[in-house]
Amino acid sequence: MSNIQNPFGQVLVALVTPFTADGEVDWPGVEKHIDDCIRQGADGIVVTGTTGETSTLTDPEKLRLVEVGKSVADGRAKIITGGGSNETAHAIQLYKASEKAGADGVMIVTPYYNKPTQAGVLTHFRMIADATDLPVILYDIPGRTGIPIKYETILRAAKHPNIVAVKDAKGDFSEVSRVLNQTDLMYFSGDDSNVLPHLAIGATGLIGVTANIAAAPYRTIVDAVNAGDLKTATAAHQQLEPLVRAVMTHVPGTVAAKYILHGLGRISSPRVRLPLVGPEDSEAALIEDELSLVGEIPGVDFSRFRPDRNAAAGGALPKVHGTTR
């Protein structure tokens, strides 16, 4: 774990954004879900990230999610705004507004689609970090953005005083170890199946999708690792394994998480916004098969799981479209 103070927490939920059946943000549902996650042990909430469907949220929705998160958390958890933009000017504008809205930190994803050089990636990160006083997490997820943050770029970015952490969804453990050895950066596991291995080599915590459903076992893993109790951490890791597989392997994590949360009665609708769609029957069947292998998990009663494939079918077109300025 890094020697610098951790401003984010250790068990961070990559929050889904609950929608109504017609694709509008379900604001009472957002409040309830954030409170549920915090009560289960989350000490950080990442709103408007990939899992929150940032690509189809408007900027006013993103800022309101920060405001609602701060109000609900009421000091119990940090609120980090995720997402960003592949346009540096837009990202700067959005993060400045997020800081005014009360965000405790920002998570900057590698610019997507444009495929900049590493010099462009570094400039993007530095200019955003210059524009805010908030602590910054860099989000390294080449499977979505098309490009990695290379090792040398991470070392250079680490020299910026506001850039203090990386969310790693690349899965290169040797690189993580090298960076941890040579910088003060904190690392957060961005792959639900690799949380314990990341922590075992010195990561600070996790930013997880499955934690929307079951934050308590991740709290157990983190607390056990902090206490040097590998046996307890491993038991919780094994307990989570079929649930992680259900959420992360058959459809996008957002889709599966909402399908499961709705089936548990914890959100009012499993709706996602297009181009995401709910699971088809064959995909839903695979998710349900994985869930049948889940044993007892603190905070979750799968005997009450009642999936609704019809409610999840298709995707929504909200009234106001896109990430507008």
> What pLDDT was estimated at residue 148?
96
Q: At a CB cut-off of 8 Å and minimum separation 6, what does 222 contact?
A: 10, 11, 199, 205, 206
Please list, residue by residue across 104-127, b when 16 or more beta carbons sit within 10 angstroms of its beta carbon and e when fewer do: bbbbbbbbbeeebeeeebbebbbe
Please list, residue by residue across 267-304, b when 16 or more beta carbons sit within 10 angstroms of its beta carbon and e when fewer do: bbbbbbbeebbbbeeebbebbbebbeebeebeebebee
13 by Cβ neighbours in 10 Å (0-12 / 13-18 / 19+) ranks as buried
Q: For the chain, what are the domain ranges?
A: 11-228
CB of 13 closer than 8 Å to CB of 46: yes
> What pLDDT was estimated at residue 30?
98
> What pLDDT was estimated at residue 231?
98
Q: How far is 80 from 325, CA to CA, in rounded Å?
A: 20
> What pLDDT was estimated at residue 322?
67
> What pLDDT was estimated at residue 324?
52
Any binding-site annotation on 51? yes
> What pLDDT was estimated at residue 323?
59
Q: Is 140 helix (H, G, I), strand (E, B) or coil?
A: strand
DSSP secondary structure string for all residues of 31-66:
HHHHHHHHHTT-SEEEESSTTTTGGGS-HHHHHHHH
**Span 93-124, pLDDT tens digits:** 999 999 999 999 999 999 999 999 999 999 99
Of 219, 243, 213, 244, the C-alpha closest to 233 is: 219
> What pLDDT was estimated at residue 319?
86
Element (H, E) at 108: strand 105-109
CB of 141 closer than 8 Å to CB of 172: no
> What pLDDT was estimated at residue 321?
76
223 by Cβ neighbours in 10 Å (0-12 / 13-18 / 19+) ranks as middle
CB of 85 closer than 8 Å to CB of 94: yes
Q: How far is 124 from 197, CA to CA, in rounded Å?
A: 30
- Residue segments in the chain with a per-residue pLDDT below the cut of 70: 1-4, 322-325
> What pLDDT was estimated at residue 258?
98
Catalytic residue annotation = 139, 167
What architecture is domain 11-228?
A: Alpha-Beta Barrel (3.20)
Amino acid at 276: L
Q: How far is 13 from 32, CA to CA, in rounded Å?
A: 14
State the virtual CA torsion across 44, 48, 51, 56 in degrees, nearest 10.
170
Any binding-site annotation on 207? yes
Of 81, 73, 78, the C-alpha closest to 100 is: 81
Amino acid at 66: V
Element (H, E) at 13: strand 11-14
